[in-house]
A and B are shown apart, each in its own frame.
Chain A
């Protein structure tokens, strides 16, 4: 079974600084997808960024980028120029394609605090 580990229950960063959230996963599959989701205090889960395992290039979405290390099974999220609106729970998630509409496997989350 696949597992996703987020080793940082909580992180704090000063506004405008850069923060990196860690995620590792365990799988025997070679083809899969990785996601970072954000859940603000309003509770709506929002996709931040996704990465296909077959792509070597790290995904980027504006201030959000990932460092995908397939051999190390690591998928960290970097948030540049942190803003107050980035404060939220961040969840790393994993999924394999095919074989039915299986759900995502989530990590336990990292609570990100932005200090003004």
Chain B
């Protein structure tokens, strides 16, 4: 089974802090994604990566950055957390055939910024 793990299920941070959300997948997938989920808005794509050290902006990249130093790990970084970044963050991964392949999701990290 594909396994996507995220470093924390719940996280509480203060405004202005630098926040790291980690995601690891164990299936040698090329593609990795970070989504944000908010009630009534569904999931929105923040960033994605199709290879090590490669990254592309999604629909809502403002206030976020990412890092992919190893194929299995994709980090989401909030340089200076703000209260409007309180949300559920979901990581996903998929194999190389773009579009065709199923995305597998992690359990999510519920981030609260005070």
Given the interface contacts A43-B88, A103-B35, does A97 sit within 8 Å of B100 by beta carbon?
A: yes
Contacts of A97 in B (CB 8 A): 97-100
State which of B35, B42, B90, B94 has its C-beta within 8 Å of the C-beta of A101. Answer: B94
A–B pairs, 7, beta carbons within 8 Å: A42-B107, A97-B100, A98-B98, A99-B98, A101-B49, A101-B94, A104-B103
Comparing A13-21, A44-52, A56-64, A68-76, the segment that makes contact with chain B is A44-52
Contacts of B30 in A (CB 8 A): 101
Contacts of B31 in A (CB 8 A): 101
Q: How far is the CB of B76 from chain A (nearest CB, A)?
A: 13
B residues engaging A (CB < 8 A)? 30-31, 33, 35, 40-45, 48-50, 56, 58, 88, 90, 92, 94, 97-100, 102-108
Contact A100 B56 (CB under 8 A): yes
The number of inter-chain residue pairs (CB within 8 angstroms) is 71
A residues engaging B (CB < 8 A)? 9, 32-33, 35, 37, 42-47, 50, 52, 91, 95-109
Q: How far is the CB of B2 from chain A (nearest CB, A)?
A: 10
Contacts of B49 in A (CB 8 A): 101
Contacts of A101 in B (CB 8 A): 30-31, 33, 48-50, 56, 94, 98
**B45 nearest CB neighbor, chain A only:** A103
Complexed CA–CA distance, A95 and B35 (Å): 15
Contacts of B41 in A (CB 8 A): 108
Complexed CA–CA distance, A100 and B54 (Å): 11
